[in-house]
Structures are given as C-alpha cells and as structure tokens.
Amino acid sequence: MAAVNMNQEMFEKAILGDKPVLVDFWAPWCTYCRRISDAYDRIAQKYEGRILVTKINIDEEPALAQQEGIEIIPTLVLYHKGMTLGSVINPESESAIDEFISGTLSMEQKQKAVHVHDMIIIGGGPGGYTAALYAARSGLDAIVLEKLSAGGQMAQTHQIDNYPGFEDGVDGYELGQKMLRQAQRFGAQTAYAEVTRVDLMAEPKVIETSEGVYYGKAVVIATGAGPRELGVEGEKELVGRGVAYCAACDGMFFKGKTVAVVGGGNSAAADALLLSRIAERVIVIHRRDTLRATKVYHEPLMQAENVEFRWDSVVTALEHEDKLTGVRLKNVKSGEESSLEVDGLFVSVGRKPNTQLFDGQVELTAGGYIAAGEDTRTNIPGVYAVGDVREKQLRQIVTAVADGAVAVHMAEEYLAGK
C-alpha cells in the first residue's frame, strides 16, 4: 500500500482519529522528496493497519504548510489524537524514518505512564504562588518549579509598604514564605529545580529541569525579570567588588562610604534613599535633567543632605584596580567628560525579563517581554505569562498577584475545553 495523498480537510479529520498519522510534507520540484518516495511507500506497507502514512503537496496546500510551520522539505511529522508527537527533516535513509516512528511512539507510551500535572508554574514569585493558590483551591493538580526560594525579586526587599493588608509594611522574604505556605495548605506542590529546557508546543507540555522532566497540560510562566546591566567594560568582573544591583542586599557593605546610583526611576530613587541612611555620600547619576520616579520620592531625596545629583550624565567607563575606585561620566548635552571617585556603584536602570528559555516558542516583544495581554494568554494555547515577565504598564507585586489569579481562570476554561 502506497502513502495516501491528502488535502487540508482530509488532514484535519485524520489527525483527530485514534490511529497515529505520519505526514510527508513534500513538493514535486524537491529532488530529495523524490529520492525518499520509494522508501516512504515501503514504510507505508510496513506500518499498514497501525499508522496512516500520508503525503501533502505544499504547493497545493500552502496555508496548511504555513500553519504547521513547515520551512524545509521533506519534513515528516507524526500526529496522534490531534497532537504533534515529533518531526524529522530530510531523513537520510529508510531506517532513519523507521527509527523516528518507533522512537516517537515509544516516547508517547512512556509519557502516558508518567504523571501529567494539570498546571506547571515556572517561578515562585508572587504571581507564581498566587496562580498555585488559585489552581489548588480549584481542585487542579498544580506544581511550582522554583530554582531558589519563594518570593522572587520581592524576597530581596526588606520593607514593602505598598502591598495591601500590612499597615506597618512587611518583609519581602517573609511575604514570599506566607504565599508559599498558603498555596501548600490547599495542596499546591513545590519542586526546587532549575528549568533548563521547555517544549511548550508538545502535548502534554514538557518542562526539563535539573531534577528531572515534568509534564503539564497547562503552563504558567512566572520567571520575572532581573537587573539590566549598564553594558560598560569590566562591569561583570566587578560585581561584588564595587558594582552591585540591589541596595537592600549589598548596601551595608558601603556603610560610611561614597556610592553612586545610576538611574532615575522608582527603583533608583528607592535605592538612593535607602543608601542615604547607610553611606556617607550618595550621588545619583541620571541621563536626563529630572527624575522619572513618582513624586513621592522627589522631596525626601532633595531634602537628604548627603544626596547629590549628576544630571544629563551617563557612565562611560569603570575605574578600578582589584576593585572599583571610580567611574567616568559624560554629559550627554555638552559632551564634557569627568571622573567621579566612588567606593560603590549601584546600577538601577531597569529590568530585563527572564525569557531566554522561551525565545522561539512564545511571542516576545521588542523589549524581550512575553507578548500577553491582561488575560495573560500567550500565542500558545494553554500557556500563560504572569508578573514582570509579560508586557504591561505597571510591574508591582499587586499586579503580579492579579495576573496569577487571571491566568488560572483562563487555564480552567482551556482545560475544560480539552
């Protein structure tokens, strides 16, 4: 029996059936497609009754080829019950096709034997643990994958005054622990593991970690964002030797010394205020002539006797021996350059989203954030982005928490449809 030629209508019906479907995406002008055609027909005879072996001419079905992401031909794709099990491009031999089929079907059987979670949450910050809480209370089998400890960036803040319900403020680490314990009370699990690779297009979705492989029907990405670097020479080498990104974490190392803070937003202003209570002298370096931070920071910063400003300036170089001794500045308006002696440099020029793992699968914005709206849905069905990792107007604990709740609501609808 030769391979069956199909159109899009036949394809969409066939892949939903109980029998696995092997599709060869080919074209008449493709010489290698012609070379494997006899071997492909022999594969059809070998697997007759077990697998439906088919062919689709991409010249006749260009929309289908684009829908399935076919960029090189021949590409062989194996489907089962509406799911893509795997693919192989330019198979070198008949045995290579045979090995692809048997290996992929064997993996599918193994996956059926492993536990598949209703929801996997990558990241244990406020957005991640809110999702875990809401999922567990809804009866979903949810697990949080966290590489270090609960709380994310929040855990590095000693005093949080803008999260409702704590009239005297709350320690960020303790708030993270409270969120962890609350989610666990309703049955959410936590695995301390670092995610190394994901396949969000697979069914179920595959999350590879330092502690093993996890499978989930839905995935919530809550990986947050990290500090953005200045990008000047020697910056990475001087981290811990004068260059820092967290005033709350490292400020006490500079007690009674001179430090500079680069940036003009809320984070930079908060860092400068904190350091003004620790360091002898604090110099704020900002590329504009006024702060971008909200007005609540302006008056206390201007009134602090040991805080001064270098407006319209950028850091062009770091001066150092075995540790930081100063910075080179350039005035962006006049072009004038100068040196500034400092013991420490706190970089607070924004955040960069932790989306490297998902590049090429979920859609990202120009800034590297995940393109997901207020419904938290990404371009991949069953995958949601919450907190600082997604494109949004305001990145705060309260907005991350709201995202976590919304993501579970959307995931419930998705899972019900499945």
Q: 94-113 vs 31-46: helix axis angle to the nearest 10? A: 60
164 CB burial (10 A radius; 0-12, 13-18, 19+):
exposed
- 317-355 residues labelled b (16+ CB within 10 A) or e (exposed): ebebeeebebbebbeeeeeeeeebebbbbbbbbebebbb
Residue 30 a catalytic site member: no
Choosing from 98, 141, 250, 312, which is the catalytic residue? 250
How many other C-beta atoms can be found within 10 angstroms of the C-beta atom of residue 42?
16
Query: Cα(27)–Cα(62) distance, rounded to whole angstroms?
Result: 10
Residue 249 a catalytic site member: yes
Choosing from 30, 141, 246, 312, which is the catalytic residue? 246
Token pair of 88, please?
């192989």
396 CB burial (10 A radius; 0-12, 13-18, 19+):
middle
304 in helix, strand or coil? coil
- 8-37 residues labelled b (16+ CB within 10 A) or e (exposed): eeebeebbeeeebbbbbbbeeebeebeebb
- Of 297, 311, 294, 251, residue with least CA distance to 276: 251
- 271-292 residues labelled b (16+ CB within 10 A) or e (exposed): bbbbbbebbebbbbbbbeeebe
Choosing from 249, 289, 359, 375, which is the catalytic residue? 249
DSSP state of 99: H
Residue 18 a catalytic site member: no
Q: What residues are labeled active site?
A: 246, 249-250
